[in-house]
Structure 1
Amino acid sequence: MFYFHGKKDKDFCLVSDPSIHINAHFIGKSSSRGRDFTWVESVGILFGSHKLYIGARRVSKWEELANNMLIRFDGEEIKVPMDEGQRWWSPETGLEIRRPVTNNKVEVKMEDLFAIVARVVPITAEESRVHGYNVTKDNCYAHLELNFKFYSLSPSVDGVLGQTYKTNYQSRVKITAPMPIMGGADRFAASGLFARDCAVSSFGSEVKPDLAGNEESFEVACGSAHGGRGIVCRR
């Protein structure tokens, strides 16, 4: 488990591999305790020549029955029917988006590449009170909780999450700390949600035959940190 703070209103690379690249957009709120509170508002996923956007809509008041998630594929909004079990499918790419519940949660799958479960959640009044967020009625800071599963990542994989799957990775976080902090924000910073210009980017590069073919799958869950000081990721 580790925590990554990032910076509010900035984009950071979560995973970069020759076959897939994922950036996250952080939103946040100023804090008198030092670092700002931050949450992930959206992710931009690049694979092949395609762009997939999954994000929380900015809403002032949370309504559980409202659709607070926005999905775009190659710039076009995807509207998955709101009934439980409904799905949208792209026969050209094999991309599938399914609703396990009526709204605010989707399962996204790309065969042999990734599976993502994304859920939109708000900052509740109780959370705001306990952690001192001071969230006002004009913005409930709707954000994403994410579960990733990756298939056949190459040893060149990098990013906030991706680096932890390198075969020679050595953790720099203090594991014995109550909240191990993953630094390196400058290395993972991107100029936009679909930008590939972070220092560790490898998307689209050639994979050498002796590095390919890793059939092991990798799972990680990312959500809000206790106290809001960034995202917490658990493998």
Structure 2
Amino acid sequence: MAEADVTSATSLAKAKRERVTCNTRRSRCYMTYVTCPVECPQVKPKDPKAKACYLDCYSPKCEAVCRRRKPDCSGMGAACYDPRFVGGDNIVFYFHGRRDEHYALVSDAGLQVNARFIGLRPVRRARDFTWIQALGLLFGSHTFTLEAARAETWSDDIDRLRFSYDGTSVTLPETHDSEWSSPSGEFKLERTASKNSVTLVVRETLELYVSVVPITEEDDRVHGYGIPRNDSFAHLEVQFRFFGLSPRVDGVLGRTYREDFANPAKPGVEMAVVGGEDRYRTSSLLSSDCASCVFAPGGNEEISLLRQYATLSCTSGVADGLGMVCRK
């Protein structure tokens, strides 16, 4: 074993294993304390590259696991690159859209998530290259925006993330694990690195992992983007995790979480592109006026009823469910 590996293993062995629990009564882990794994003993490790201890309060299993604190572009709910999505059905697809336009990624009764696309169209190309530059969230009567600020030249030492809550700018100190919460606590923002990576939690609704990245010279060379010298096209890599989506959920990504959705992007098809630009285009980052949008500001009551039963499971008894028996 290399010296660095020995040092890392020794540090893990010495680190105190934290205990975690869930505070929501619907969770199987409600007020049950679980010890973190040896491989990731801390919920918020000081090393931003280390995996963190995580207890999924919405899983039937009451088990702490290790996870990265940044987007996994190959994982379910991811939206990265130009843009490449991984749907709720785990099928990979591309949605290109147009530069300087806004699209509904998710539209549900109590939650709307829009994306602003940036891009460019090289000479003799039929469509734009596009990337996600900003996200706009509507939750009940509140709004939250998260965007990547333009950078002529990229530097890892400069933070490019910008935030706002209900139209007011949010300041988040550039220190690892710094936090901000909205006045009523429905939104919680936390840095997972001192710069350019955060996690946003919308209470009992959404976990969102975000990083800002540039188009590198190698990316430009391989894909032939034609990136100008005065713009690094800083954009977002994101991964969503949803709780209690309704059967009516729609949107570029949201529709893939519906049980009746038949994804036109078949598994194994390289560069499967799906359409829907006209159905999911919104007039702004914080609008819910797309043709297929279902968001309603008062929709949280409907969603809350769904969430009351989101963690129940039909079993032959109650041992594996949460106090529910299903009969024909």
TM-score by shorter chain over 0.5? yes
In the alignment, does 2:281 pair up with 1:186? no
Q: CA RMSD in A?
A: 1.7
Q: In the alignment, which residue of structure 1 is the partner of 2:66?
A: none
In the alignment, does 2:324 pair up with 1:215? no
Q: What pairs with 1:160-171 in structure 2 (closer than 5 Å)?
A: 160-171=252-263
Note if contact 1:174-1:181 (Cα within 8 Å) is conserved in structure 2.
Answer: no
Instruction: Give the whole-Å Cα distance in 2 for the aligned partners of 1:6 and 1:17.
Output: 21
1:51 to 143, 151, 166: 143
Q: TM-score, normalised by structure 2?
A: 0.63
Counterpart secondary structure, 2:278 = helix
1:67 to 147, 159, 176: 159
Q: Which runs of 4+ in 1 moved over 4 A?
A: 205-209
Q: In the alignment, which residue of structure 1 is the partner of 2:20?
A: none
Instruction: Give the whole-Å Cα distance in 2 for the aligned partners of 1:86 and 1:93.
Output: 16
Q: CA deviation at 1:57?
A: 0.3
Larger radius of gyration: 2
Instruction: Give the whole-Å Cα distance in 1 for the aligned partners of 2:187 and 2:276.
Output: 32
Q: TM-score, normalised by structure 1?
A: 0.86
Q: What pairs with 1:111-190 in structure 2 (closer than 5 Å)?
A: 111-190=203-282
In the alignment, does 2:100 pair up with 1:100? no
Q: 1:90 to 1:127 in 2, by over 3 A?
A: same
% of aligned pairs identical? 37
Q: CA deviation at 1:14?
A: 0.3
The structure with more strand, counted as a fraction of residues: 1
Q: CA deviation at 1:92?
A: 1.1
Instruction: Give the whole-Å Cα distance in 2 for the aligned partners of 1:91 and 1:73.
Output: 10
Instruction: Give the whole-Å Cα distance in 2 for the aligned partners of 1:61 and 1:112.
Output: 38
Q: CA deviation at 1:212?
A: 2.6
The one-letter code of the counterpart of 2:232 is C
Q: CA deviation at 1:133?
A: 1.5
Structure 2 spans left out of the alignment, 5+ residues: 1-91, 312-328
Instruction: Give the whole-Å Cα distance in 1 for the aligned partners of 2:290 and 2:184.
Output: 29
Deviation string 1:59-102 (CA, Å, 9 cap, x unpaired) is 21111111111111111111111111111112413311111110
* Structure having greater relative contact order (Cα 8 Å, sep ≥ 6): 1
